[in-house]
Structure 1
Amino acid sequence: MMWSFSICLLGFVVLLSLSLVMGWLGCYYLMADLVYFIEWEVISLNSSGIVMTVLLDWMSLMFMSFVMGISSLVVYYSEEYMLGDGSLDRFIILVLMFVLSMMFMIISPNLISILLGWDGLGLVSYCLVIYYQNTKSYGAGMLTALSNRVGDVALLMAIAWMLNFGSWNYIYYLNLNEKGIELSVMGGLILLAAMTKSAQIPFSSWLPAAMAAPTPVSALVHSSTLVTAGVYLLIRFNTLIFEGVWSELLLLISGLTMFMAGMGANFEFDLKKIIALSTLSQLGLMMSILSIGYFKLAFFHLLTHALFKALLFMCAGAIIHNMKNSQDIRSMGVLSNQMPLTSACFNSSNLALCGMPFLAGFYSKDLILEMVSLSYMNCFLFFLFFFSTGLTVSYSLRLVYYSMTGDCNEISSHFLNDEGWVMLSGMILLMTMAVMGGSMLSWVIFSTPEVVVLPFSLKMMTMMVCLTGGWIGYEIAKLALSYELYSFKFYLMSSFLGSVWFMPSLSTYGVNYYFLSVGELIYSIFDQGWSEEFGGQTVYLMSVDYSLMNQVYQNNELKVYLISFVVWVIILMGLIVII
């Protein structure tokens, strides 16, 4: 146990120190407008060099600072949360490998080294999702791995496609004056890779399924690492997705993802899945604002979202611990009386998610919606943006109503209290950042204050949508019984909206099942069938026959020579007769 304790504390101290250093460097690089590009050529192959490259600019340093800061608090939090686990050291090492893979991805302007971090994220996330080793975890891990393989293949194809250019450093080709079909194809492949990692439609089903992982992993994965990797990649490749129809396609898909996740969360009763669907909704928001062209604004929301989402998961973990591992929000109630500190952190992060004025989420979400109001956009997409924002407030208020108010709905009464000081101290630190982080980041990232001038009706639209959404969420939760009866009355509609548009069923029983079945068929017919018959097996049997024949000749047996002599005599006589 001493070893487990020391590795948690050591990881916390090292990661937090690195986070502070990189945060300071990021601010310095931003103010001084510095970029460092470090190259090391590993091997040159047909005039295409495989180069290990490091890109240090304000964006990569600031993102690394946030990832390391959140992961340090998650590692510290894990010491108490995973107390009963006999192999805590293995868990912490997996988390640290996860962070290392993310670092690889962040600092690489080279597709080869990006693939190292990208595949590292996929492999370690699989190991963490199946950590509890039960059937549900294995199913969720396989769904996560297979969904992400599509993006990995797209990235490999982009690497192969970049042989056209002579180098894998994509940063050299982003600002070409004339972008041809090659860069457009590469933009499409990168877009596909980012959509799988950031769980956009039709790859959305793995993100709620990945909730089978331990809660500290969810806090890390859903705030700043795995799911934001796709958004970060598109921020880096932001000029390529404006080639062809990619930006319009991304805008439509991300808008629908945002809407779908918001609707699904209003029908969900699993605490962790509600928060996972809210992550999916926010990812859709980041992707959609990125597809309009405001990549710096997408990055700003990515950072503020990381703060309050990690806090939300940490609070959810503390609540689940107290509820004796029950995640159903219908069995909660009056937690604000019995767990005041945890409830304060939980409600602060929820309000930040809703965009409550002067909390972290407000500075990015309000600015995003105002820029959408200012942009050239059709009514359908405008509706998706604002309606999805209302849905966010709706499911957040519904969650607060179910968990914090009313009666205690536990089946048997047991003592509820705030968790130990280790978990609480991490949550309080993150709450401070979730309250003040947005304001600080807005001053750092936007050196000139952004002023968006709109008519009064559009300016107040965001606030009105939030208030309406909150009121609807409260009313739905208050009329819980009639709401559930209503869901049964319109069962098909509610099951469609509540099951993420049937995507888990389609991806698990449809796509994955049929692809794996076809793979098995091809393997049994070709690999183990005809190719064996005409390939390896036949060559082996013929080799055995010929070697036996050769062995007989080498034994110098008289009968062999006599038979050979008779055969030759018959052949010669035949030739003489013919002549």
Structure 2
Amino acid sequence: MFFSSLSCFFNETGKVYEIPLYTLNSTDILLTFYFDGPGLMFLSFVLAISSAVLLFSGSYMKDDFFMARFTLLVLLFVLSMSLLILSLNMVSILLGWDGLGVVSYILVVYYQNEKSNAAGMITALTNRLGDVAILLTIGLMVETGSWNFMYTAADLLPTEMWYLGILIMAASITKSAQMPFSAWLPAAMAAPTPVSALVHSSTLVTAGVYLLIRFNPLIMSTKVSWVLVLTACLTTVMASMSALWECDLKKVVALSTLSQLGVMVMTAAAGLPLLALFHLLAHATFKALLFMCSGKIIHSLGDTQDIRNMGGLMGSMPLTVSFFNLANLALCGFPFLAGFYSKDLLIEVILMGDLSVATLSLISLIVGLSSAYSVRLAFLSFLNYPSLPVVSKVSDEDRLVVGAYLMLGCLATTSGAVLSWLMLPSPSLILLPPTLKITTALLVALGAALGVLISANIMPRRFLLLEALMNMWLLPSLSGYLPSSAGLSLNKKISTLDLGWAELVGGKGGYTLLTSISSKLPKGVFAPMLTYQLLGGALLLMAATLLYSNSLM
């Protein structure tokens, strides 16, 4: 499949396959698939990472009683993502899109506890908003005469139906967890670690970015793509600042995913879809490896996720720590790893444009903070003094885990260079002054120094709005607690109205009237006969009234 994608890339061709399902009123109902370079390339990475995740699950979930059911759910998850990637029809895209949402909810609530149920609910409700946007798009595309978006994106949609781009943007930001819909992504950490590795690398959260890449001509025609760029920048800064103070290992990795998703969405909204796909594929390799290593560490330490209780793991888990640091360096953009090629090219192409001081400051902040939280995570988790008990059994001797590490480690090391050669055969012309070229490396170094200072508790502990910075700018409260409390308070007011005059005039009043009338009816042997006579008389009176009213017309 990977070589087929290369053939499509080099020849700039694509193939459409139509599978007839049934005929209804002389109309053929077809299932349409589109095989082109970006789709096949993305699908090959999804299948490679999924195979590594299933290999890792064989060790991580070996004691689970429902291991077969878990494997089936993961395969359904991959099948839904494959349907979304290869679909040319908006209806089949909805099937893959909705399938991802349903299966993700089942996987998030897999452990059946209060935390996972709450996380599953906020995940499902947020994804429902994206489903509504896709449904509205399907309804509005009826005017074009076809739901095959690839045939109409170049001629009809940008000029006559530009508002479809706004709906696609709305669907994408819910699935890719952009502000203000960012609260569900860290909450989804309640799922098993193999699911987190798959969700945060190449499936659920990247579906929104892939939709932006597919519909990029339509989105660029809406003239409001700058709103998406600004939203993505704010999401990246928010996630990076929150990760800088977070102490939960899995949540730090989840927030790093959120920050990189902001970079992808910003790139796609800026009119650079191929670079966004390049960074998406490179990021998927080392992020899955990062989650696997995090899960192995947490599992080995007795489900401890607080990085302050870790440290000194280099001697007991050398393989896991080595691959964790490899993925962490790739996340920082260390030279010649996967993240370096995509992030460096992406930032340089953005700097080639006309930028304001505010935009340049945001990009500088994004570059510096990404290295800061990565260095802090590595320092507290591995380079710090040991915080484990004196007697503890910690090891990473497992063939399945080692096999998954090697698969993703090779991809995290080589995928950046290989993809840059294959996806971008003609290099972009970059003309930047030496100051801007040096600034990137300087910002990475300053961010690393900031991470070391925060890890060593040298930075001041209290400053303005620290709580808001640590807690995702209070987005979990704003998008979770406030709407639910407002709904409950509104429900109390409505229930007061319902139990007041509306109930008195409605159901309860009617019941009271009928029971009072029935109590006045005679009782005894002849009571049923008299009751039937009264009811019959009432029916005859109503019929006579109806006939008389009709005769007057």
Per the shorter chain, which TM-score range?
0.7 to 0.9
| Contact 1:47 1:166 survives alignment (8 Å) | no
| Contact 1:50 1:168 survives alignment (8 Å) | no
CA distance in 2, matches of 1:524, 1:111: 44
Root mean square deviation of aligned Cα: 3.2
Match of 2:479 in 1: 507
Match of 1:161 in 2: 140
Match of 1:551 in 2: none
Please point out which of 99, 106, 121 is paired with 1:142: 121
Matched, 1:320 2:298: yes
How far did 1:410 drift?
2.1
CA distance in 2, matches of 1:560, 1:395: 86
CA distance in 2, matches of 1:46, 1:175: 30
Please point out which of 76, 86, 102 is paired with 2:81: 102
| Contact 1:208 1:273 survives alignment (8 Å) | yes
Give secondary structure in 2 for the equivalent of 1:83. Answer: coil
How far did 1:560 drift?
6.5
How far did 1:56 drift?
0.5
Equivalent residue pairs, number: 524
The percent of aligned pairs where both chains have the same amino acid is 46
User: 1:145-544 to 2 correspondence within 5 Å?
Assistant: 145-176=124-155, 179-180=158-159, 183-411=161-389, 413-478=391-456, 480=457, 482-483=458-459, 486-487=460-461, 489-490=462-463, 493-515=465-487
Q: 1:381 to 1:43 in 2, by over 3 A?
A: farther
What amino acid is the match of 1:274? V
CA distance in 2, matches of 1:161, 1:521: 37
User: 1:57-68 to 2 correspondence within 5 Å?
Assistant: 57-68=36-47
Q: 1:178 to 1:203 in 2, by over 3 A?
A: closer
Give secondary structure in 2 for the equivalent of 1:460. Answer: helix
With 167-176 and 120-129 compared, the bigger mean Cα shift is at: 167-176
Q: 1:36 to 1:506 in 2, by over 3 A?
A: same
Give secondary structure in 1 for the equivalent of 2:216. Answer: coil
CA distance in 2, matches of 1:332, 1:73: 26
Q: 1:119 to 1:520 in 2, by over 3 A?
A: farther
TM-score normalised over the length of structure 1: 0.84
What amino acid is the match of 2:344? D
CA distance in 2, matches of 1:183, 1:328: 50
Give secondary structure in 1 for the equivalent of 2:34. Answer: strand
CA distance in 2, matches of 1:453, 1:145: 46
What amino acid is the match of 1:453? L
CA distance in 2, matches of 1:41, 1:372: 44
Q: 1:459 to 1:506 in 2, by over 3 A?
A: same
CA distance in 1, matches of 2:494, 2:30: 37
How far did 1:245 drift?
3.6
Q: 1:358 to 1:520 in 2, by over 3 A?
A: farther
Match of 2:519 in 1: none
TM-score normalised over the length of structure 2: 0.88
How far did 1:517 drift?
6.7
Give a deviation string over 1:520-551, Cα, whole Å, max 9, x none: 9879989xx989x989x99xx99xxxxxxxxx
Q: 1:414 to 1:158 in 2, by over 3 A?
A: same
Give a deviation string over 1:134-189, Cα, whole Å, max 9, x none: 10111111011111111111111111111221211111221127833x52211001
What amino acid is the match of 1:25? S
CA distance in 1, matches of 2:490, 2:65: 41
| Contact 1:372 1:382 survives alignment (8 Å) | no
How far did 1:375 drift?
1.2
Please point out which of 78, 82, 86 is paired with 2:57: 78
CA distance in 2, matches of 1:136, 1:390: 33
Give secondary structure in 2 for the equivalent of 1:423. Answer: helix
Q: Which stretches of structure 1, 4 residues or more, deviate above 3 A after TM superposition? A: 40-51, 177-180, 512-526
How far did 1:39 drift?
2.8
What amino acid is the match of 2:32? T
| Contact 1:155 1:193 survives alignment (8 Å) | yes
CA distance in 1, matches of 2:135, 2:497: 27
Unmatched segments (≥5 aa) in structure 1: 1-21, 543-554, 572-579
| Contact 2:163 2:222 survives alignment (8 Å) | no
Please point out which of 130, 135, 140 is paired with 2:109: 130
CA distance in 1, matches of 2:7, 2:407: 24
How far did 1:66 drift?
0.5
Match of 2:525 in 1: none
CA distance in 1, matches of 2:22, 2:482: 43
CA distance in 1, matches of 2:67, 2:187: 23
Match of 1:112 in 2: 91
| Contact 2:21 2:28 survives alignment (8 Å) | yes
Match of 1:16 in 2: none
CA distance in 2, matches of 1:100, 1:431: 25
How far did 1:383 drift?
1.5
Give a deviation string over 1:54-105, Cα, whole Å, max 9, x none: 1110111111100011011101100110122111001110100000010111
What amino acid is the match of 2:70? F
Q: 1:334 to 1:37 in 2, by over 3 A?
A: same
What amino acid is the match of 1:60? G
What amino acid is the match of 2:84? M
Give a deviation string over 1:16-63, Cα, whole Å, max 9, x none: xxxxxx112111222232211123465789999864211110111111
Give secondary structure in 2 for the equivalent of 1:335. Answer: coil
| Contact 2:247 2:306 survives alignment (8 Å) | yes
Match of 2:67 in 1: 88
Matched, 1:36 2:15: yes
Q: 1:417 to 1:178 in 2, by over 3 A?
A: closer
| Contact 2:372 2:451 survives alignment (8 Å) | yes
